[in-house]
């Protein structure tokens, strides 16, 4: 997935100006979220990057999506990807920092594929650091602002490295957000989980738990993965 663009069934992601490229786990996350939300829900994408999640979540719905991105070159690419898509009238590309952004809207659905790493090895490229590392948006800040902007009956969806699962759940509890669904993600049946996708709610209840495997063998995607990604991947 290192090409300068990635073509889906209903849109194309150009990514040469963004530090973080389209990844399989991000595509899975978008498809997983889209399978859970209703067509009428308003959406906020925090750290929208190339616009992958915003565009995936615009399929089968016509409500406004607010997509906020802090890195200038990536915001330009986000705007480009939205403009050339068939969803250009419903996605609003916002250049800014979620920590400073104000709106009267309270969102039914908030999604984020946030900076994964805190206090780890840095790149010498500022854009990559901003995209990969939580210097600009810590986990605490992410949950604070998601909680601030979420409607009382809304949901917050986040994609994280599996090793930060417990930390993420603990942070959510500090803001009285509770896991409604948790999906551990494995590369294959023979690998340990490497990502976790979590749906948070302000309402307590039972937590749905599942494990999603990306590939059942070296050459073929697993059935559950194919079912989720079939509306998006050209090859499925």
What CATH number corresponds to the domain at position 212? 3.40.50.150
Tell whether 219 is covered by a domain.
Answer: yes
Q: What is the pLDDT of residues 114-159, one digit of tens each?
A: 876 544 444 344 444 444 434 468 999 999 999 999 999 999 999 9
Backbone angles phi, psi at 208, to 5 degrees: -75, 130
The domain containing residue 136 runs over which residues?
5-229
Residue 120 lies in a domain: yes
How far are the Cα atoms of 57, 145, 149, 232 from residue 152, in angstroms, in the given order?
21, 14, 9, 31
Q: For residue range 19-33, what is the model confidence (pLDDT) as tens digits?
A: 778 999 999 999 999
How many structural domains does the chain have?
Answer: 1
Q: Which residues of the chain have pLDDT under 70?
A: 1-3, 116-136
Q: Which residues contact 110 (CB under 8 A, 6 or more apart)?
A: 43, 44, 45, 46, 146, 149, 150, 154, 155, 156, 157
- Assess if residue 234 is contained within a domain: no
How far apart are the C-alpha atoms of 74 and 48, rounded to whole Å?
9
pTM, entire model: 0.90
Instruction: Tell me if 209 is assigned to some domain.
Output: yes
185 in a structural domain: yes
Residue 3: predicted pLDDT:
64
**What does the mean pLDDT of the chain come to?**
89
Residue 54 falls within a domain, yes or no? yes
């Amino acid at each position: 997935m290192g090409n300068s663009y990635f073509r889906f069934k209903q849109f194309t992601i150009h990514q040469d100006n963004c530090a973080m490229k389209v990844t399989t786990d991000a595509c899975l996350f978008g498809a997983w979220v889209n399978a859970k939300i209703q067509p009428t829900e308003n959406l906020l994408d925090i750290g929208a990057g190339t616009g992958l999640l915003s565009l995936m979540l615009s399929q089968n719905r016509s409500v406004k999506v607010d997509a906020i991105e802090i890195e200038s070159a990536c915001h330009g690419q986000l705007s480009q990807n939205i403009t050339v898509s068939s969803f250009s009238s419903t996605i609003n590309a916002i250049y800014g920092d979620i920590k400073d952004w104000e709106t009267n809207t309270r969102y039914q659905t908030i999604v984020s594929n946030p900076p994964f790493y805190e206090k780890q090895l840095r790149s010498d490229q500022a854009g990559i650091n901003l995209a990969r590392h939580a210097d600009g948006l810590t986990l605490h800040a992410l949950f604070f602002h998601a909680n601030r902007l979420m409607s009382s009956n809304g949901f917050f969806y986040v994609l994280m490295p599996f090793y930060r699962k417990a930390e993420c759940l603990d942070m959510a509890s500090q803001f009285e957000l509770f896991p409604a669904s948790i999906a551990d993600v494995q590369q294959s049946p023979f690998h340990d989980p490497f990502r976790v996708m979590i749906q948070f709610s302000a309402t307590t209840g039972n937590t749905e738990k599942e494990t999603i495997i990306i590939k059942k063998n070296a050459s073929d995607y697993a059935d559950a993965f194919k079912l989720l990604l079939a509306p998006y991947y050209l090859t499925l």
